[in-house]
Amino acid sequence: MRKGAVLAAAVLFLTVALVGRAVGQPKTIRALPPPNVSGARFSPQQVAAGRYLVILGDCMPCHTVTGGAAFAGGRPIPTPFGPLVSANITPDRETGLGGWSSDDFYRALHEGKSRKVGNLYPAFPYIHYTKVSRADVDAIYAYLQTIPAVTSDPKRDQLPFPYRIRQLMAVWNWLFFEPGAYDPDPNRSAEWNRGAYLVQGLGHCGDCHTPRNVLGGAERRKRFRGGAFPGWFAPDLTDNRSVGLGSWSDAELLEFFRTGRNVRTAATGEMGEVVAYSTSQMTDGDLRAIITYLRSLPASPEATVSLPGREAMAAGEAIYRDQCSACHRMDGSGVRRLFPPLAGNANLQQANPRTVARLVLVGAQTMPTDPRPTAFTMPAYAWKLSDRQIADVLTYARNSWGNRAAAVSAEDVAKLRRQLKPRAAIAPVPRGSMLHPAPGTLAKPGTDSRDNGTAHAGRAAAPEADRNPRNTTGPPGNMDLPKHKPHRHEAQGPG
């Protein structure tokens, strides 16, 4: 009996990673396909409502590959066990949802059960979509049934044995999944309830921003206090003034959701995609409701952190002056809406430094949106700074200009560096995939920041054919940059 329990726990432990995450950011932001409402099956009002709900749910990027037909599936969501590939949800009869009834569709979103394959993996965020009302799910169904049908049968089950046994998810569901529609709180305003419905349901914000236990279940008592997932840490969204949104104004939040940028930060990667495909296209009313709800999240407790070592601070300051201050300024004030300030920066001060260590290792590109169409790039430092140097510069930035956060260790950076395997070693990304930058990509040794996985990085220095800024069609992993030897920029480090 005991043995059985241990075995079950072990198997479950291994399924944790199946709570995967899409990685990367799209090269071009695509509009949702127009529906064809000529048939009498659905009213144009219902279809239009469904289209907007699909924006609220951010369904498109996970179900589309760059250059591929919208919603035809095939985007791999990497897990340590292999890619979990998204499904074709266009109305094609054979390969999509053409044969599905609205009840089948509701069961997928509400219970995580597919008419086609049985139990779905929680990389598809049904644990959140379960809160969506039947009327809203029916409207999504109406929209998805009226977009162009595409024949596409992505090979979904690429996980090795035993993870490909979908029945395992029944145990996981039993432990961690609470099906049930959103239950409005009568003591709160209609706006708050709308915000809660959106954040907990279609917005699935907690999928990234809530910590998970070792088995991949959400830690409900620590809701929205920041969550780790492969390669990233999604920051605290509670009222905490240093690591959460406590010091942000409503106007700053609104600007971030609309444009991906404000005077405090810029969205990139995962959150960049959420902004591009979802929040930047939401109505102001819905954004205000989301803000009202976020405002009510009680502040997470202040962490007690010990002072960093003086040596690390001195080394970090030297590296910062040399490598970072040109953009982020010596006083950490940055450049308004171009290079985020590091002074008072919440993302920088998270207990888990994974996102910021990632940014320094592989660089980043801000997500362009219509109101802010220019993407700014932070260079990659993996090729020129050692783990210790990256740890020190982050420790310095996390403890200067009034910032306060635990020191970053060289081991933390080394671990992340290993996870972000060199491009050649990661599962091949299909040509033209929407994944961008490629999952967990590190510049190859001997390349510079032009090869940091951001398509626009350093284009000016690229060959003629690459110089056209519109020429972003090549897959990010295959940028044929000229072989050139970088100058060795030795950081003016500790000595």
Q: Using CB under 6 A, which residues numbered 241 to 280 contact ligand HEC?
A: 245, 256, 265-272, 274, 279
What do you get for the CA distance between the two ends of the chain, in Å?
Answer: 60
Q: Considering the complex, what minimum distance in angstroms separates the CB of residue 250 from ligand HEC? A: 12
- Does 59 bind ligand HEC (CB under 6 A)? Our answer is yes
Name which of 23 and 477 has its Cβ closer to ligand HEC: 23
d(CA 262, CA 246): 15
Smallest Cα–Cα separation from 163: which of 9, 14, 22? Answer: 14
How far apart are CB 422 and ligand HEC at their closest, in Å?
20
Give the dihedral of Cα atoms 454, 455, 458, 464; nearest 10 deg: 170
72 binds ligand HEC (CB under 6 A): no
Task: Tell me which DSSP letter residue 338 carries.
Answer: T
Name the CA dihedral angle for 38, 42, 44, 45, rounded to a multiple of 10 degrees.
180
What amino acid occupies position 347? N
Interaction of residue 12 with ligand HEC, rule CB under 6 A: no
Span of 8-16, 121-129, 146-154, 451-459 interacting with ligand HEC by CB under 6 A: 121-129
Residue 125 in the binding site for ligand HEC (CB under 6 A): yes
**Nearest CA to 395 among 408, 404, 382?**
408
Rule CB under 6 A: is residue 397 a binding residue for ligand HEC? yes
Q: Which of residues 461-490 bind ligand HEC (CB under 6 A)?
A: none
Choose which of 69, 72, 237, 382 interacts with ligand HEC (CB under 6 A): 237
Stretch of residues binding ligand HEC (CB under 6 A), selected from 3-11, 116-124, 402-410, 424-432:
116-124
CB count within 10 Å of CB 209 equals 22
Which span sits near ligand HEC by CB under 6 A: 5-13, 378-386, 399-407, 426-434?
378-386
- 210, containing H or E segment: none
89 binds ligand HEC (CB under 6 A): yes
Structural tokens at position 117: 């394959």
Regarding 324 and contact with ligand HEC (CB under 6 A), the answer is yes
| Number of C-beta neighbours around residue 459 at 10 A | 18
Q: Establish if 165 lies at the interface with ligand HEC (CB under 6 A).
A: no
Which of 206/483 has CB closer to ligand HEC? Answer: 206
Residue 55 found at the interface with ligand HEC (CB under 6 A): no
Distance between CA atoms of residues 319 and 57, nearest Å:
42
Asked if 293 is part of the footprint of ligand HEC (rule: CB under 6 A), the reply reads no
Which one among 52, 81, 124, 177 touches ligand HEC, defined by CB under 6 A?
A: 124
Window 337 to 376, contacts with ligand HEC (CB under 6 A) = 339-340, 342, 345-348, 355-356, 359-360, 364, 366, 376
| Total residues binding ligand HEC (CB under 6 A) | 76
Contacting residue, 65, 72, 140, 391, with ligand HEC by CB under 6 A: 140
Q: Does 435 bind ligand HEC (CB under 6 A)?
A: no
Comparing CB distances to ligand HEC, the nearer of 1 and 31 is 31
For every residue of 383-449, DSSP letters joined together read TTS-HHHHHHHHHHHHTSTT---PPPPHHHHHHHHHHS-BGGGSPPPPTT-S-SSPTT-BPPTT--G
Residue in 100, 90, 95, 97 with CA at minimum distance from that of residue 149: 90
